Chains A and B, each alone.
Chain A
Amino acid sequence: MKSLTDLQNGESLEDVILEPVSRLDLIKYAGASGDYNPIHTIDDEAKKTGLPGIIAHGMWTMGNLAKLFTPYYEDGFIQDYTIRFKGMVFLNDVLTLKAIVQDVRETHMDFKVYAINQDGKEVIKGKVKFLTYK
């Protein structure tokens, strides 16, 4: 594995392609996070609010995206993490997680991060400022 701090502007971390989103994924996240909003787990409740079916918690997707950086906690940590939720994530969607280096500084690295679905549509996008240890 290439060291994070060897990366140059425009280079990417290795993409991660998730397994198709399952109901169990969302039930587990509801339990772990305490977010039991039924639009994430119960079809009828989702439909009542006008959705075609249950949708993933935005925070589930945001949590997944951060794992691109997890192998690098010896080099630094995520100091700032900003996400805009752009589109809904449905059951069986296949998400690809991406991070591209925007800027490398003495003290930190800036990344553009996003997740796209199987149709290439961005579902979340944002940025990560990764503070690097001396």
Chain B
Amino acid sequence: MLTESIGKRSDKVKNIVERGLVKKFAESIGDSHPIFIDEEFGRKSRYGINIAPPTFPRVFDYGEVDGLELPNKGLIHGEQTYHYERPLMVGEEIYCYTEVKDYYEKKGMGFFVLNRCGEDPKGETIFSSEQVIIITEAVRKVMKL
């Protein structure tokens, strides 16, 4: 079932780098630097506006991949990568989608690889990320994956 979803993509979903959420997110990782939350500081910075922390894309909606159902437990986040063309600017619109990059099994465990990307309104990529999710052997057997 998971193998069949390799290569499938969700539709793009519009997200906003919302000021209040950036502040809340920065605080939640103990990183309330003015570059993220102080408007005046942001204006005077080289970006001319506040930016978001690099792990902020965790909050975006990437849409659903048709037919893809991951178990709701027994998942381990193994690896995470972000690549940026530039930082995310507070207030901007980002169009996000997710794509199933790979699924393979090794030593009884399943390895599920998701690509998650964000584009500007012109379709230029701003960031891409890759997530490796490990599905434990016990869960894989129960789910018959």
- A residues touching B (Cβ–Cβ < 8 Å)? 18-19, 25, 28-29, 31-35, 49, 58-60, 62-64, 66-67, 70-71, 73-74, 77-85, 133
Contact = CB atoms under 8 A, between A and B. Distances in A.
B28 A33 contact: yes
The B contact surface, by secondary structure, is: mixed
A59 B55 contact: yes
Q: How large is the interface on B (under 10, 10 to 19, 20 to 34, 35 or more residues)?
A: 20 to 34
Interface in B14-70: 21, 24-25, 27-31, 33, 35-36, 45-47, 51, 53-55, 58-59
Nearest to A73: B35
A18 B35 contact: no
Contact of A81 (B46, B47, B81): B81
Contact of A73 (B27, B74, B84, B87): B87
A56 B69 CA distance: 24
Interface of B: 21, 24-25, 27-31, 33, 35-36, 45-47, 51, 53-55, 58-59, 73-74, 76-84, 86-87
A35 B58 contact: yes
Contacts, number: 103
A52 to B, nearest CB: 16
Contacts of A74: 45-46
24 contacts: A28-B24, A29-B28, A32-B24, A32-B25, A32-B28, A49-B73, A58-B80, A59-B77, A62-B55, A63-B55, A64-B29, A64-B31, A66-B29, A66-B31, A70-B31, A70-B36, A71-B33, A73-B47, A74-B45, A79-B84, A83-B80, A83-B81, A85-B79, A133-B46
